[in-house]
Amino acid sequence: MIDLSVEVAGIRMQNPILVASGTFGCGEEYSPLLDVGRLGALVTKGITLKPWQGNKPPRICETPAGLLNAVGLQNPGVDAFIHEILPVMKGYGVPVIANIAGFTKEEFVEIAKRLTGAGVDGLEINISCPNVKSGGMALGTVPELAAEVVEAVVESTSLPVIVKLTPNVTDIVALARAVTDAGASALSLINTLLGMAIDIKSRRPVLGNVLGGLSGPAIRPVAVRAVWQVSQAVDVPVIGMGGICRGEDALEFILAGATAVAVGSAHFRDPLAAMKIISYLESYCEENGINDWQKLIGAAWKNK
Amino acid sequence: METECRADAQLSDYAARVLEQVAVAPGCRLLTVSSPGLARAASPGQFALLGCGTGYDPFLRRPLSFHRVDLKRGEVSFLYRVKGVGTQWLAERRRGDVIPVLGPLGRGFRHSDRGKRGLLVGAGLGAAPLLFLAERLAGQAWSLTVLLGATTKTGILRADAFGRFGTVKTVTEDGSTPKKGTILDLLQEELNGGGWDTIYACGPRVVLKAVQEISARTGIPAQISVEERMACGLGACLGCACRSASSPGYLRVCREGPVFDAGEVILDD
Ligand SMILES: Cc1cc2nc3c(=O)[nH]c(=O)nc-3n(C[C@H](O)[C@H](O)[C@H](O)COP(=O)(O)OP(=O)(O)OC[C@H]3O[C@@H](n4cnc5c(N)ncnc54)[C@H](O)[C@@H]3O)c2cc1C
Ligand SMILES: Cc1cc2nc3c(=O)[nH]c(=O)nc-3n(C[C@H](O)[C@H](O)[C@H](O)COP(=O)(O)O)c2cc1C
Ligand code: FES
């Protein structure tokens, strides 16, 4: 069998297929349906310092080829995560990346400190969540502020630090450069696009939170563009995500410059999406006689 | 026909083949699929996510409760209203077509297996999950009264089928059945008779909220089947939140529900 293994931010993965934060629970939810241990890595739901209730419903609204969500970072807080959720996630034998969300720089640092040595393999800093009022995306849209957070987290932990970027900015490359200079070892892109929907019968916004984050195939071209631009501008690996549903989509992101990809909303349509994508990549490499699949990374701009 | 991802798994994404699809009322359809594995695994009050369409639009699966299960024949039925794009697609499926059906999902109705007196309250499409429950309870020597309410006569669904498992009483708001009024009027009359062990209810939120209030006031235990918009159906995305009554925060309708004890949740508007 072809070797699809890859290293991202010093984290060794058996293949480049991850799950996107917030879409796959702690793995346990999907485990009756598939072998969670086949994934490249698991990524947690956003973790805050204190338990967080999340937004009032409705939190989900289907849109053309995708959905809006306004879950709003519901999670039991970092301490409960470490004691109750992490042991379950580690049981699958694949790396666990903790997606962390602070409302201030100090909170990001505190969460990072508590997770250091707790057993996670890396941190994914979520400075891009559109569903919370402060922190979240606000910190992630101004390059200087984002860089400050990243620098503080990098200093406070020995874990690899991946930074997840929002597409809701004018210049994602400037943001990518700023956080890479501040010490990020990899970048995840993209988080959801800010959107909303109005119910024409009630004449009111559909989501309890009014605004939500758009995900699914509808945002794929935006994500491919972001990966294409950012991967050419920085030297750290990029984890690509946004609407990946099929093996062909994953390949498109890799060709655009992603070293690994994450599958999110696709699981809502097909719970086996990530498994099928892994199988596709294996047979694609075999059928095309590709021994070193990493030659495909960024091939779309490398082979001009 | 069906496929199972793992031989030991009950929860699976079954490729269910359509056996029959009939209109039971204007805009309401009864869909029966063949899926022996799903039929074996399903319990009353649980639901499945049905994949609708072949492209990405509609993108999400649609939650439907199990309406009936025929274990011997390996058949599962859904009773649904054609509402938007997803259910419209389902309505166009014909015998032999295959529908991806992820299930069984969620926590269904809880009940004692020694016969008691049960009151089933089905408002409109709320009748959907109750037939499976009625059959199960009747099989365990429960004595049942089934209340079915709708705005008009054609909205009273499956009264004959319910009649095999208990006494059926119907009510319509426009008086097109002998009794005119709301299902809550009918429920109040039955409660005046007394002697009920459990109320099982499904329907619009106003009805469920009234049942919660009645249960709290009378002390009769009640269970309600709640609806919320869903993405994963598995408890992973936290999309289907319903406010918890016992602690700050939310419960997942797809996991801790969809059937809740009446006092377990707060139904916001
Ligand atoms: C646990 C559960 C069991 C259900 N059982 C039944 C049943 O047995 N029979 C039946 O007729 N209906 C049932 N419903 C409601 C049914 O899921 C919706 O009517 C259906 O999803 C509408 O899809 P659509 O594409 O036709 O409508 P659209 O309005 O086009 O749907 C748009 C989006 O909103 C969602 N949505 C719309 N209405 C509802 C709703 N009431 N609850 C949850 N999501 C909704 C859809 O799933 C979809 O994502 C149930 C809902 C839940 C949560
Ligand atoms: C229901 C839901 C919850 C999400 N929660 C988080 C989260 O907690 N933290 C985060 O960084 N991203 C979160 N995301 C964003 C995804 O991780 C991903 O970046 C985005 O959905 C794009 O990928 P997709 O189109 O494949 O879903 C969430 C997405 C969805 C749909
Ligand atoms: S629908 Fe995803 S948690 Fe309930």
Subunit contact B231:A29, Cβ cutoff 8 A: no
Identify the helix (H) or strand (E) that includes residue B78: strand B75-81
Residue B2 has pLDDT above 60, yes or no: no
A159 closest CA partner among A90, A100, A230, A107: A100
Q: How far apart are CA A123 and CA A217, in angstroms?
A: 26
In this predicted structure, what is the pLDDT of residue B5? 39
Question: Cα angle vertex B60, ends B81, A278, to 5°?
Answer: 145
A69, β-bridge pairs: A60, A213
What is the average pLDDT across A165-189? 96
Active-site residue numbers of A?
129
In this predicted structure, what is the pLDDT of residue A303? 79
Distance to chain B for A146, nearest Cα, Å: 27
Structure confidence by residue, pLDDT tens digits, B175-230: 998 899 999 999 999 998 888 999 999 999 999 999 999 999 999 999 999 999 99
In this predicted structure, what is the pLDDT of residue B269? 67
Residues of B in contact with A271 (CB under 8 A): 13, 102, 232, 234
Q: How far apart are CA A266 and CA B223, in angstroms?
A: 33
Percentage, residues of chain A above pLDDT 90: 91
Specify the pairing of strand B222-225 against strand B259-261. Answer: antiparallel
In this predicted structure, what is the pLDDT of residue A132? 57
Q: How far apart are CA A196 and CA A282, in angstroms?
A: 38
Measured from the CB, is residue A123 less than 6 Å from ligand 2?
no
Counting ligand 1 atoms within 8 A of each CB, the residue from B21, B30, B64 with the most, and so the one to mutate, is B64
Subunit contact B238:A30, Cβ cutoff 8 A: no
Subunit contact A60:B60, Cβ cutoff 8 A: yes
Percentage, residues of chain B above pLDDT 90: 90
Which tokens go with B116? 């008691």
Where residue B3 falls among pLDDT bands split at 50, 70, 90? Answer: very low
Q: How far apart are CA A125 and CA B62, in angstroms?
A: 33
Neighbours of A117 (CB within 10 A): 11
In this predicted structure, what is the pLDDT of residue A134? 55
Q: How far apart are the first and last CA of chain B?
A: 41
Percentage, residues of chain A above pLDDT 70: 96
Residue A23 has pLDDT above 70, yes or no: yes
Q: Are B171 and B186 in contact (CB under 8 A)?
A: yes
What is the average pLDDT across B147-163? 96
Residue B9 has pLDDT above 80, yes or no: no
What is the average pLDDT across A220-245? 98
In this predicted structure, what is the pLDDT of residue B255? 97
Among B12, B14, B232, pick the best mutation site for testing chain A contact (most A Cβ within 10 A): B232
The DSSP-derived string for B20-38 is EEEEEETTEEEEEEE-HHH
Residue A108 has pLDDT above 50, yes or no: yes
pTM attached to this predicted model:
0.96
Distance to chain A for B44, nearest Cα, Å: 20
Q: Are B253 and B230 in contact (CB under 8 A)?
A: yes
Counting ligand 2 atoms within 8 A of each CB, the residue from A164, A265, A267, A277 with the most, and so the one to mutate, is A265
| Nearest ligand (C-alpha, residue A74) | 2
Residue A138 has pLDDT above 80, yes or no: no
Instruction: Report how far ligand 3's centroid is from the alpha carbon of A254 (Å).
Output: 30
Structure confidence by residue, pLDDT tens digits, B240-268: 999 999 999 999 999 999 999 999 999 98
In this predicted structure, what is the pLDDT of residue B8? 42
Q: Are A300 and A19 in contact (CB under 8 A)?
A: no
Kindly report the protein residue whose alpha carbon is nearest to atom 21 of ligand 1. Answer: B62
Instruction: Report how far ligand 3's centroid is from the alpha carbon of B241 (Å).
Output: 8
The DSSP-derived string for A219-230 is GHHHHHHHHHHH
